């Protein structure tokens, strides 16, 4: 064109093979829809803003959205995207799935202005799925699965109040929920610790030795050792460190640093520590 040699660039990824980028990227430009073939598409008439740092992703999304949405704004700068959200009506924001201050700030603005958020996952790695659980998006798409059809389907589902999710992410979230349910069941297990054993457990969490526990509880060192052994046995742990970790996880004790039991919590003499109760 006009004798101008454009620098060569690597070909688009497989997921964007059907999207031909425009010759030049004027980021911040708003592209009107050129007309599509599916007149019944619920996504037509939407105003979509793309805010993504990767140029190839922006090019592919713009090419796909031209035949899907009524108006497309493509930006590389999240701050400019935030300004558009405040000053213009945006129906859907498409951004990368990242728990960064910029992305989370955009998501908050979207909530305030009733703009739906569609986040793009870069991979199916667990780290990406963990990020997805932190980003308050209304739907997610895998970049590797991105096509004009999948994008159109996700936008239509968003506008119907549904939450589009990749199958891999759905399975991961379901697995986390099951793990959480199992942990909840474990925390409901009774341990039947006596009041004295609970006091010893709290002192264990503060890193005290048997001798120090005996002094704090006003009992003999032998009595303290007996209480500690009972706690470890009842929690079914091999050592005191794991016993404290389990007790913290299951809410049996407060975080270390809590006030130690006062004199009123102690029994008179060592006999109470020498005798197993309950």
Q: Could you give the CA distance from residue 53 to residue 30 in angstroms, rounded to a whole number?
A: 17
pLDDT computed for residue 38 by the predictor: 43
Strand ranges of the sheet holding 71-75, from the earlier edge strand across to the other edge:
30-32, 71-75, 47-51, 92-96, 116-121, 139-142
pLDDT computed for residue 90 by the predictor: 92
Q: Is 223 exposed, middle or buried (0-12, 13-18, 19+ CB in 10 A)?
A: buried
List the pLDDT tens digit at each of the 278 positions of the chain: 444 343 444 444 444 544 444 433 334 555 554 444 443 345 568 999 999 989 999 999 999 998 888 889 899 888 888 888 888 899 999 998 887 888 888 888 898 899 999 999 988 887 778 777 778 889 899 888 889 999 999 999 899 888 888 888 888 777 776 665 555 444 455 677 888 999 999 998 888 888 999 999 999 999 999 899 889 888 888 778 778 888 888 788 876 554 444 444 443 333 333 333 33
pLDDT computed for residue 36 by the predictor: 43
Q: Could you give the CA distance from residue 59 to residue 82 in angstroms, rounded to a whole number?
A: 20
Query: Hey, is 49 helix, strand or coil?
Result: strand
Helix axes 78-87, 101-112, angle to 10 degrees: 10
Beta bridge partners of 30: 73
Is the pTM value of this prediction over 0.85? no
> Hunting for tokens 């793990």 — which residue is that?
179
Given a contact cutoff of 8 angstroms between Cβ atoms, the answer to whether 160 and 42 are in contact is yes
Query: Hey, is 120 helix, strand or coil?
Result: strand
pLDDT computed for residue 42 by the predictor: 53
Q: Could you give the CA distance from residue 148 to residue 167 in angstroms, rounded to a whole number?
A: 18
- Apex 247 CA angle, 241 and 249, nearest 5: 105
143: Cα separation from own chain's centroid: 18
Q: How big is the chain by its Cα radius of gyration, in Å?
A: 30
Q: Could you give the CA distance from residue 121 to residue 125 in angstroms, rounded to a whole number?
A: 9
157: Cα separation from own chain's centroid: 22
């Amino acid at each position: 064109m006009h004798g101008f040699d454009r620098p060569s660039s690597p070909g688009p990824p497989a997921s964007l093979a059907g999207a031909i980028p425009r010759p030049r990227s004027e980021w911040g430009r708003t592209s009107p829809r050129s007309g599509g073939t599916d007149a019944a598409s619920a996504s037509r008439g939407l105003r979509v803003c793309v805010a993504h740092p990767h140029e190839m992703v922006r090019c592919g999304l713009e090419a796909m959205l031209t035949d899907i949405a009524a108006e497309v704004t493509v930006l590389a700068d999240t701050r400019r995207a935030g300004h558009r959200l405040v000053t213009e009506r945006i129906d859907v924001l498409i951004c990368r799935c990242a728990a960064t201050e910029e992305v989370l700030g955009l998501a908050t603005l979207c909530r305030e202005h009733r703009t739906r958020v569609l986040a793009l996952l870069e991979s199916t790695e667990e780290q990406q799925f963990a990020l997805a659980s932190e980003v308050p998006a209304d739907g997610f798409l895998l970049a590797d699965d991105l096509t004009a059809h999948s994008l159109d389907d996700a936008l239509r589902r968003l506008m119907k109040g549904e939450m589009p999710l990749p199958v891999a992410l759905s399975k991961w979230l379901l697995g986390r929920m099951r793990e959480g349910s199992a942990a909840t069941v474990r925390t409901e297990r009774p341990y039947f610790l006596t009041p004295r054993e609970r006091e010893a457990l709290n002192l264990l969490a503060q890193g005290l030795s048997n001798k120090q526990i005996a002094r704090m509880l006003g009992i003999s060192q032998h009595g303290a050792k007996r209480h500690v052994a009972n706690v470890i046995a009842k929690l079914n742990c091999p050592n005191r460190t794991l016993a404290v970790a389990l007790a913290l996880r299951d809410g049996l004790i407060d975080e270390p640093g809590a006030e130690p039991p006062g004199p009123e919590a102690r029994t008179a003499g060592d006999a109470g520590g020498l005798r197993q109760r309950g």
